[in-house]
Amino acid sequence: MRSDEIKAIFDQQATCYDERWARTAPIREALHFLLEAVFAGLPADARVLCVGAGTGEEIAYLARRFPRWSFTAVEPSGAMLEVCRNKAIEGGYAERCQFHEGYLQSLPEQNAFDAATCFLVSQFILEPDARAEFFRAIASRLRPGARLASSDLASDVTSVEYTALLETWMNMMTVAGIPAAGVEQMRTAYSRDVAVLPPERVASIIESGGFADPVLFYQAGLIHAWYSTRPPADAQ
Ligand SMILES: C[S@@+](CC[C@H](N)C(=O)[O-])C[C@H]1O[C@@H](n2cnc3c(N)ncnc32)[C@H](O)[C@@H]1O
């Protein structure tokens, strides 16, 4: 899918996005809880880059937990970013946020960030070299030694396990209240518009993108999350 088509889908879903996925909160909350541990070594005034911030769920969690951290939300969908901004205003942390409508390439140059998040974003880049380039662009914005936490759908789609897990994942969506037509749309999207790759392959793409030692720290169904590190200057 082209980036303008992806943006159009999220523009269209933005106002009901949080409500639609509300019942999947346990999966998100566990990821955010562990994220705190992943980012445990960050300074008290850390600057965090959030690529594909969506409606700002990860920012909302971290902003509540770390009152001196600041956040740069990079999000191509203006409608998703608007939800993110309103959430920040309501939550009282908007003054600690920079909201960039667009892609990382157009984010104005600024001091290197202490950490980055990129949750459920790189999977939309179907071509592996372009996906590695996407991670490389994130790495270029981080200080040496900074940590990236990223998540994507991952599985070996040729395996029997994937067939079983996909059914379980679709059942989860039904339990979460996603209408049947929406569940079928997701099934089609996974086979056509989302690069669901084996976890080891995603880890190797993260490494090709300039991050060292990806660690798989979380899995819930098809969602896998890694942390990895931009190597120190003398190791690059
Ligand atoms: C599935 S949502 C996840 C949002 C949020 N990170 C979360 O986990 O709740 C993916 C988001 O990434 C954005 N996105 C897609 N491609 C992107 C890209 N190349 N760079 C930055 N954001 C992108 C979409 O507009 C969408 O808001």
Is 90 exceeded by the pLDDT of residue 19? yes
Is 70 exceeded by the pLDDT of residue 104? yes
Which residues contact ligand 1 via a Cβ below 6 A? 6-7, 10, 51-54, 57-58, 74-77, 80, 103, 119-121, 124
What mean pLDDT is reported for the chain? 96
Q: Where are the domains of the chain?
A: 3-154+195-235
CA 2 – CA 122 distance, rounded (Å): 13
Is 80 exceeded by the pLDDT of residue 233? no
pLDDT tens digits, 148-201: 999 999 999 999 999 999 999 999 999 999 999 999 999 999 999 999 999 999
**Ligand 1 centroid – CA 120 distance (Å):** 6
pLDDT computed for residue 234 by the predictor: 63
pLDDT tens digits, 35-89: 999 999 999 999 999 999 999 999 999 999 999 999 999 999 999 999 999 999 9
Is 80 exceeded by the pLDDT of residue 235? no
| For the chain, percent of residues with pLDDT exceeding 70 | 99
Q: Which mutation among 17, 32, 121, 135 tests ligand 1's pocket best, with the greatest number of atoms within 8 A of CB?
A: 121
pLDDT computed for residue 232 by the predictor: 82
Q: Whose C-alpha lies nearest to ligand 1, atom 22? A: 52
CATH topology of domain 3-154+195-235: Rossmann fold (3.40.50)
